[in-house]
Structure 1
Amino acid sequence: MGRKNKAYAKDLHQQAYEKLVSMQAFGESKRAAVADGTAKYKIFSFNTYQDYWKHTKYFIEYIKENYPECTTLKAAKRHMNEWLQSRVAQGLSAWTIQLEAKALGKLYGIGPEDEGYFVPPKRRREDITRSRGDRVRDKHFSEANNDELIKFCKGTGLRRGELSELRGGDLMSRKQITQELARLSAVPMDERTPQQARRLAVLKDTELFQEEYFVLVRNGKGGRERLSPVVGKNTSQIIERMKNTPRGERVWQHVHQSADIHAYRAVYATNIYKAHARKIEDIPYDRVSKKTNRRYQSQVYACRKDEAGKKLDKAAMLVCSKALGHNRIDVVANNYIRGL
């Protein structure tokens, strides 16, 4: 006779896979899910799903090797924090540990506010090694042979996946944007579809910039669409490549795996920040502290930790954040703006 409960016939790998797949909510509103309390049971981005599944498999392998008697996710749960602590002992970065804690938190439906949630090491800017100094992979990457790719990256700020998916026809001029903006704005608010409303917001973001050309990112981080301005001294070369690529074909057939895309994005971000930043002393003291009764600059961002003492213009940081496809200015300060 067969098992009455077929669930137990599935190994841990299959149980975890089915659990994460059942949580896929690509394209759904995360804000709405947070509001109704269902966000912890959903995964809103395909890239996030891939990351969570990748690290969940590492956990499953650990359980199979060390606790073969654990044949269900429920039984394996008690070893979750033990595994995460072992990852800390291995010397993995705080960023990786944070990701793995979130992956298992999603798998088991628990969050930082819940009792027993693993508290990962704090992430410190000085511990970042990505895109700093020479790496072994650099020996396999010729800057001379990839000169056009590097210039393109520094002028558009696209992520690796965004570069790979960029197509001919994904270039918009200021004139095209203005025309589409006028057309969508003419549609009464109560008659606009959700797609039209999102598109209108993307188009309006371009008003933050002075540039004449933008690359259309159709599926950025979190599935968000954006228009990133083409900036820098190589603008003409970038526009020419975009225009010469037949509509629908990839602009870049191959993006070298050793290309330091994050470093190029940092150059892009820093240049945009510099172009829009005011002198800190010129930013008005527009608020009064309730505690000290002293006036302060609400539009000035004070960096912390190893960057303590450095101040940035929040308005310029927002412009930079929009260009990169982020929604938080602190991400720009901590990961992209350099050499100021």
Structure 2
Amino acid sequence: MGRYPGLIYFVLKRLDSLMAIGKSRHQAKQRIRAELDEVNWNGSTGMIYSHTTRKVYQQHILAFANWAMANYQVKRPEELDTHADELVSRYLQEGIEQEKSPYTLQTVRSALRLYFGWKVAESVILPKRKRTDIKRSRVSVKQDDHFQPQHWPAHILFAQATGLRFAEMRDVHVDEIIAQPDGRVIVHVRNGKGGKARNVPVLAGYEQDILAIIEGRAPHEHVFEHMPKNMDVQSYRRASAQARYRQHAPGRTLPDGQGSLSLAIMMRRRR
């Protein structure tokens, strides 16, 4: 008789079954909304639409499984499923007591809820995320030492004008930059966060600069043949968002960065 596979094997197999690479989360949500007859439904489809999400969630789920095996002698997948609510609640509570960041705890909970179901550990109240807790790119970081802005003017201009993510800039094609009859320019993102496509308007005043980047180039060519891995795209995204805010709300001051993130933003990011 062959050896019974270990718990980790079953965890990985279940994660494999949840993969939906190349499929649209947006379309899946639309189908669910139609089936439920709830136009505003915004829950999880229960699937994984990107390799990055799989990597992050797998790391957290395997850490939880190893914790359950080490502390509660859980060896079989049915045991893990049966006691999921109790174990996940204890695991999250330990994370709170260890003062793990709210962002980490919410990511862990999202991963475990995708795996076990979205009602698991409902009794555990996680600490709220605050804007002041988000440290990335607020000050000079190590990667800045390896990035020379003067060598990448087109990349910086594009990031500031569009606010795209690193992978979105890397993947965009020439024919996905579209000039509109009214003079505006939009960038079509085929595969954004969660596999969702969207159209991003270029900031007013940058239109001709963006069109100059693609002038005379083949339609299916990547706009950027190479993306510098140490480019702090997040800082340019933030600057772009601030500029967009000022364009749409002239005369208004930007939020001061204090206080909690809005509930709508928190719920959207958890999913």
Common fold, TM-score beyond 0.5?
A: yes
Q: Does 1:92 align with 2:97?
A: no
Q: What are the Cα deviations for residues 292-311 of structure 1, in whole angstroms up to 9, with x where unaligned?
A: xxxxxxxxxx9799259xxx
d(CA) in 2 for partners of 1:266 and 1:147? 17
SS in 2 for 1:29: helix
Structure number with the bigger relative contact order (C-alpha 8 A, sep ≥ 6) is 2
Residue equivalent to 1:191: none
Q: What are the Cα deviations for residues 71-129 of structure 1, in whole angstroms up to 9, with x where unaligned?
A: 22343435433433444455532112101111111211142xx5655332211111110
Identical pairs, percent: 25
Shift of 1:229: 1.8
d(CA) in 1 for partners of 2:257 and 2:241? 21
Residue equivalent to 2:146: 140
- AA in 2 matched with 1:172: I
SS in 2 for 1:214: strand
Contact 2:29–2:45 under 8 Å retained in 1 = no
Out of 306, 323, 327, the residue aligned to residue 258 of structure 2 is 306
Contact 1:23–1:41 under 8 Å retained in 2 = no
Residue equivalent to 1:269: 241
Alignment of 1:110-189 (within 5 A): 110-111=118-119, 117-175=123-181
Out of 57, 64, 71, the residue aligned to residue 62 of structure 2 is 57
Out of 192, 196, 214, the residue aligned to residue 242 of structure 1 is 214
Contact 1:170–1:242 under 8 Å retained in 2 = no
d(CA) in 2 for partners of 1:230 and 1:41? 31
Structure 1 pair 271–80 and aligned structure 2 pair: CA distance change class (3 A):
same
Contact 1:101–1:118 under 8 Å retained in 2 = no
Q: Does 1:19 align with 2:14?
A: yes
Q: CA RMSD in A?
A: 3.5
Q: Does 1:260 align with 2:232?
A: yes
SS in 2 for 1:228: strand
Out of 48, 73, 92, the residue aligned to residue 77 of structure 2 is 73
d(CA) in 2 for partners of 1:150 and 1:156? 10
Residue equivalent to 1:43: 47
Structure 1 pair 83–156 and aligned structure 2 pair: CA distance change class (3 A):
same
d(CA) in 2 for partners of 1:75 and 1:221? 34
Shift of 1:67: 4.2
SS in 2 for 1:306: coil
Q: What are the Cα deviations for residues 209-242 of structure 1, in whole angstroms up to 9, with x where unaligned?
A: x652211111112322222122255543322222
d(CA) in 2 for partners of 1:268 and 1:68? 48
Contact 2:89–2:121 under 8 Å retained in 1 = no
Alignment of 1:262-301 (within 5 A): 262-277=234-249
- AA in 2 matched with 1:95: Y
- Determine which structure has more spread, i.e. the larger CA radius of gyration: 1
d(CA) in 1 for partners of 2:122 and 2:98? 22
Structure 1 pair 252–41 and aligned structure 2 pair: CA distance change class (3 A):
closer
Q: Could you tell me the TM-score, scaled by structure 1's length?
A: 0.62
SS in 1 for 2:223: coil
Contact 1:30–1:44 under 8 Å retained in 2 = no
